[in-house]
Every structure is written in structure tokens, then in C-alpha cells.
Amino acid sequence: MKFFKIVLLTAVVLLFCSSCTDSKWLTFDTNGGPKVKAQLLKPNEEASLPVDYDMDGYDFAGWYLDEDVWEQPYNGEPITENTTVHARWDVSIHNVVFYLNGGQTADGTSRQYKAEVVEGDVITPPEVTNTDKELIGWYTDPSCTVLWEGGVCTGDTKLYARWRDYFDSEDMVLPRVYFTTSKEKFTLNGEYSSCYVTVTSDNKEWNIYNEYAGYRVRGNSTAGFEKKPYRVKFEKKRDMFGMGAAKDWIFLANYIDISLMRNWITFELAAHFGDKYTTSSQMVNLFIDGEYQGVYLVCEQVETGVNRVDIEWDELAGPPDDPADVGFLVEFGNPGFNWGDWSTKFIMTRSVKYKGRTYRNDGGEIGVIKYPNGDDCTNEMAAYLQEYVDKVNTAIFTRDWESFSELCDVDSFVINFIVSEYMLSNDMGWVFFFYKEPGGKLALGPIWDFDQSAGCSTHGGDTYKGWASGTPHSWFLALIEIDEFRSLVIERWMESYDYLHSVPDIIQAKADECRADIDANFIRWDRLIGYPHWRSIPKMDKFKTYDEHVDYLKEWLNNRMNWIETELGIKN
């Protein structure tokens, strides 16, 4: 019996050893992946391959018998010899979908832009555009509430474009003025339509909320342009942008001046030279009933008042008995401009004969007495002013320095001459102002209307040569021939030599500061740059960018200064 047990045990051991001899080892070369335990497979036994086998940044592509992991895939079939299988890993590639939400890629793709991105690589959105809108950023949710901060790809991704109107760019710096209109007429003056005016800016002192006012289109030739200039009249005096409280304000469109800088820099020049009643100004973005209108220049209306030309008599005391003690404001202009009502009084500049020639201010010979206005200006007052202007006119055209200096505020004429000639205003002579303070001398100013200056209008051309070139303003042509006046011009020019030569840089700095606002203006008015318009210079019509217009203005001013300094004999 004992013998039988020994024989049986031996048989079992031999059988087991035979079975072990037929089993084969399957080992796993993971090629960097997670370790896999080797398996001892019996004959005809299939391998148990790992399930959900993965590695960060890679997709598992299977086991292979060849080390190149390319030609002999292994799917767990029985083996007949000890075998090593090799893991194949493919770099993870994910689908990234960009929902354009109205945008378009450079190749014309709209709605969705799809890209395959390797896991771990940075996701780079496509370049997209959207007519009249600016891309804010890409968001991770369809409602565009969670901003995508960028980063590497970690899996399939969906991103959504969010846009804003071009005039809502965070880079825009100018204050905003809103007219909210109604169909009612403003009761204070004729054809004004009523509106509420709101001003918003970073400067809280400038904010005006829901102020009732009237507004109307203003200007002569400029009133016919698509981008309209406006005049606003508040019920009560309001201080806009620190320029002093008043009811009337002007919104200049500067449609002709593509640089948008000519009126602004002229007011800056006049202020630098100390012109007594220089018009202050502020660039703004204007909206009417929520519709963006572009960049405007808000400035003071040329009129009398405490914060304007301060020459009015005390209403309680009444007008002075002597017309010499009356303050006057006069606007000279082309006949047909600013005629006013039938009670408005007018004066003229008459022809003067001197050394066999006849001189006159062609074009600007009619002067409208803006103050005192209407019936407040008596015939005696108008006659006194006409006689005074006749004396000034004669003194200028006869080159009578002594009489001119007795009758006129010489410094105001020097300032107006330098500023007007520096910019070569082609409207000078057609439209200009002078005033006479009570008991004082006649003074030229305030300076006004320079959108067609500095070589940007065929009304005068692009020349930078000549005194009063292209204008009918014979006063300046006569004054510069008077040695005393010429010497004063040279003296004031040299005092401000560095400033005058810095003006092109000042213009560039302003253009850079307001560039986002200016870009928005020319999206709104997209048929200005590169297109001809009324009185535009043909070579400027060929400019394709705003920068070309600014460069042209700077170059023109440098040429102009060179000509003036050569003419005055002060060129180094």
C-alpha cells in the first residue's frame, strides 16, 4: 500500500512538471507605460491583457510582437514559446473646436473652426475678424461668462468667441457724450430739437447726467456732410470739461480734416501765445440715440459772456451813454453767411487807395455785429463802430503804424497773424472775429475755423508758401509789410521757437493717445480715408491709412515753418 502511494505521488509530480514544461512566459515591455506583471500561459491559454491602460499625454495603441511596434500586433492569442510583447503609444491628439459666433477666419471659415492639437501643446486660436466688432476673448462656455486664460491642451476642448462693438474698446480714452432725443422742439430757440445730454468720463467732475437741452445741425458748407456738426444749447449754464459754465456748446465734426487735429492744435497754439479769449476744446466720442457718431471736438461757441468774450454791459445798469464805452463782438464773413434777422446791424471794410493801388478785404468785407445784438445795438452804436473800423482799415492799408497801434490791440494781431500763418488758414479773411472791449482798442480774435488749414483743402491748396496764401485777407498782407509789425512777429516767434518746432510731436502724441478712438471713428466713417470728398487734396485722397494723414500734416508744418523762418530772416 505504501508502495502504491509513492508511485501515485511520483506520477502526479511527473505530470505537473510536464505541464510546467509546456507553459510559456509572456512578459510586457511597456515602453515607459505603467508596469504589467508577466503571465505564465498554459498551452492554448489566451493572455489577459490590461484593460484601460493609459499614460499621460499618450493614447495606448496596443501590444506588438515586433520591437518597432508597427507590423505584428498582439491581441492575447496563445503562445508556444516565452514571448515579450511591446507597448505602442501614440501621442494624444485632441479635437479643439472654436465657435466663431459671427466671426470669420482668414480663409473664410465661419461658424466653427476645428483643429487637432497634441496633448500638452499650447492651444493657439485662429486669427478671426468680425465686421464692426472687436474680439474680447475666448470663453469656455456658450454664454461667454468664463474667460479662457489660455494654456496647453489636456483633452477635447470647446471655445467660444465673444465680441463687442468696435466703439466699446477698452483702449478708448476719450469722454463720451450721449444725446437722447425726442420729437419735441426745444422751446428756447427756433429749430432746436430737444434731447437729454449725458457725459461720462473718468473725470467725475465732468459728468452731466440727463441735462435737458436743444441741439441742431450747425455750420455752412459743413452742414451738408454726412458727419454733421452740432450746436447744443442747455436751459441753464453748464460747465463742460472745465471750460466754464455757458449754455451754448459746439460739436465740430472735422469731416474735412482726416487727421482730426487741425482745429485742436490751433486752439492749443492760440492758448500758448496767450490769446485772451481763445476757444477751449475737448475731444469726445458722440452717440445719438445709442448710435455711435465718431470723434468730435467740443468747444466754446464764439459769443459774449462771463466765460466767453467778456465785454457785456451790466443788464441792471443798462447800456453806456457813450458808444465808445460799449463792448462789441463782430464776425466778418462771406456775404450770405450769418445774416441774422432784420434787426441785426452790419458794418463793412471799405476800399482804400494807397500809392496808386486800391486795397480791400475781398470776401470778408461784411461784418455782423454779434454784440450788442439786434435792437440792443442802436444806430448810434453801429455808426460809431463803422467809423472806428474805417480808421483801422485805413491805417492798415496805408501802412500807418502809429495810427494802427493807437487804434488796435497790437499783440492780438501779432498772435492771430502767427497762429493763422503757421497753420495757413485758408478761411482767414472769409470768416474771422474781432472784438472791442468797453473803452478799449479793437482786438483780433477769438481764433476760429481751421479745419481747412495746413494744406488739406483745395480752398487754398497744399502749398506751404506765401503769406495769407489762398485767402482774401488783405489785412495780413499789408501788416507784414510794416517793419514794426514784422519785428514784433519775429520777436514772438523766437520766444516760442522751441514750442513751435515741437508741435508736430505734440500732434503725434495726441494721435497716439487717442488712437483707439480715432480707429473707431474711421470704422464708423469708412469712406473718408482713401476716398475723395469736397475740397480734398488729390494726393491725400490716395492715402490708405490714418498714419499717412498725420505724417502729411507733420511734414507740411515743418515745411511751413522753414518757409516762414526763411522769409522772416531767422532761419539758422
Residue 317 located in a structural domain: no
Same domain, 183 and 287: yes
Same domain, 231 and 262: yes
CA-based end-to-end distance of the chain: 136
Residue 527 located in a structural domain: no
Strand partners, 287: 178, 292
Number of structural domains the chain divides into? 3
Same domain, 256 and 215: yes
Same domain, 87 and 99: no
Same domain, 180 and 283: yes
Task: Indicate the average pLDDT of the chain.
Answer: 90
Is the model more confident about 131 or about 67? 67
- Alpha carbon of residue 252 to chain centroid: 15
- b (16+ CB within 10 A) / e for 354-383: eeeeebbbebbbbbbbbbbbeeebeeebbe
Same domain, 213 and 288: yes
Coil/strand/helix, residue 29: strand
Q: Please state, in angstroms and rounded to a whole number, the distance separating the CA atoms of residues 386 and 389.
A: 5
Average pLDDT for 227-249:
93
Residue 151 located in a structural domain: yes
Give yes or no for residue 24 having a pLDDT over 70.
Answer: yes
144-159 confidence digits (pLDDT tens): 999 999 999 999 999 9
Average pLDDT for 115-132:
92
pLDDT, residue 502, reads: 98
Q: What pTM did the predictor assign?
A: 0.79
pLDDT, residue 187, reads: 62
Q: Residue 260 is part of which domain span? A: 176-300
Same domain, 51 and 85: yes
Same domain, 67 and 127: no
Give yes or no for residue 12 having a pLDDT over 60.
Answer: no
CATH number at residue 52: 2.60.40.4270
Contact 379, 450 (CB under 8 A): no
498-527 confidence digits (pLDDT tens): 999 999 999 999 999 999 999 999 999 999
Same domain, 151 and 233: no
DSSP H/E element including 395: helix 379-397
Q: Please state, in angstroms and rounded to a whole number, the distance separating the CA atoms of residues 133 and 165.
A: 5
